[in-house]
Amino acid sequence: MEKKIINLGIFGFGCVGQGLYEVLSKTKGINARVRKICIKHPDKQRPIDSSYFTTDQHEILDDPSIDVVVELINDTEAAFQIVSTALRNGKAVVSASKRMIAENLRSLYDLQQLHRMPLLYEGACCASIPVIRNLEEYYDNDLLNGVEGICNGSTNYILSKIFEEHQDFSSALSRAQELGFAESDPSLDIEGFDPKFKICILLLHAFGTFVKPAEVMNFGISRLNDFDISFARQRGCTIKLIAKCRKQNGNVVTYVLPHLVPRSHLLSDVQNEYNGILVESTFAENQFFVGKGAGGTATGSAVLSDISALTYNYRYEYKKIGQSNPLSLTQNLQLKIYLRYTEAGQVDLEDFDSLSEKYESSENRYVVGLINLSRLREASWLKNPGVNILVMD
């Protein structure tokens, strides 16, 4: 494998872009240099020389001397257009746009096959944790059963502050935003969309199945109240927002839901902006990866690893696609959940297969019971902001 010098064209110079620039300028050993950075607002004060910047994307996309396009912008549609044009123009691409990638996995896969150009996106899943690379390279032959974990740094930061430091939700959220852990639209984090994009990407690398984010249930932590928090504490648990995919009778099931996690569980120790991913396989059994899941340099270091991998001609092989019978998505999974509500009639308990606990007071009610994911996903009562759920298994 020959090592080459590569010229980078970067789109976006926000938190991650600047993190990358910083990582790149302090790291010897990598044969890559930044040639151009395409930005939206030319008048903004920038920490580096203005000759680097352009607002014209063609100065990067049509420049034959640029080998690698690094796409780090927030606009999903524009990002897809940039990435697909770059691949078509024979450029390798590194991207950290989880939403854009998750929503366009099939097209991006096809574009890579058609133009035989690599697209790497380790920074899009769990920032600094090399989880895609490990699923691609290391678990290609072991019998993988499931991948699950905490893959949103912002909500995990909020939950840590609530559980470890008794802070309230909104001040923890503001602090996460100040620290640059939160998405610009915080609902992407706290409603569980961001981890859903990530689990859709991981699902493809784990099982070779293409799943649209819209097909996957997500429910976040925005409705968490003091009653829920005491309930978790009383049971010796913390609460974590968990994204999960696993094999299930020849199909694959996936969702993002808040979970009650016992204090003895590995995931309960993943604190603040850290992410943690559990990979379960038949022979290697449980593997657990923990690392920073948010912040400019954590994501920047993942983007840099992808750039470095390109200097060695690395590309995702997507080995699971076509390796065995493709697994289809199923919503048929029984979950044990805690359902908290305020008034009788606010929820339809008939949707449950069985109930094991029921609590009523003048202010709060809850049940614990078994419900099928397909039912839960379609339950209209779940839209009521006075209702919250936590998975208990």
Residues that bind a second copy (CB under 8 A): 1, 19, 23, 26-30, 128-130, 133-134, 137-143, 266, 269, 274, 276, 281-292, 297-298, 300-302, 304-305, 308-309, 312, 317, 319, 323-324
Catalytic member of 36, 98, 196, 198: 198
Gyration radius of the chain's alpha carbons:
22
Nearest to a second copy of 31, 187 (CB atom): 31
Contacts of 367 (CB under 8 A, 6+ apart): 338, 339, 349, 352, 355, 357, 358, 359
**Rounded to whole angstroms, how far apart are CA atoms 379 and 382?**
6
Which amino acid type is present at position 107? S
Nearest to a second copy of 6, 373 (CB atom): 6
CA angle 114, 115, 117 (to 5 degrees): 125
**Rounded to whole angstroms, how far apart are CA atoms 204 and 86?**
22
Residue environment code for 61-91, b if the CB has 16+ CB neighbours within 10 A, otherwise e = bebeebbbbbbbbbebebbbebbbbbbebeb
Which amino acid type is present at position 45? Q
To a second copy, the closest distance from the beta carbon of 147 in angstroms equals 14
To a second copy, the closest distance from the beta carbon of 322 in angstroms equals 10
Neighbours of 199 (CB within 10 A): 29
The encoded tokens of residue 354 equal 């069985």
To a second copy, the closest distance from the beta carbon of 316 in angstroms equals 12
Complete edge-to-edge strand list for the sheet that includes strand 119-120: 53-54, 32-38, 6-11, 68-71, 92-95, 119-120
Nearest to a second copy of 187, 313 (CB atom): 313
What does the H/E/C string look like for 286-321? Answer: EEEEEEECCCHHHHHHHHHHHHHHHHCCCCCCCCCC
Nearest to a second copy of 28, 44 (CB atom): 28
Nearest to a second copy of 109, 227 (CB atom): 109
To a second copy, the closest distance from the beta carbon of 295 in angstroms equals 9
Neighbours of 115 (CB within 10 A): 16
To a second copy, the closest distance from the beta carbon of 135 in angstroms equals 11
Residue 198 among the catalytic residues = yes
To a second copy, the closest distance from the beta carbon of 335 in angstroms equals 26
Nearest to a second copy of 133, 161 (CB atom): 133
- Which DSSP state fits 110? H
Catalytic residue IDs: 198
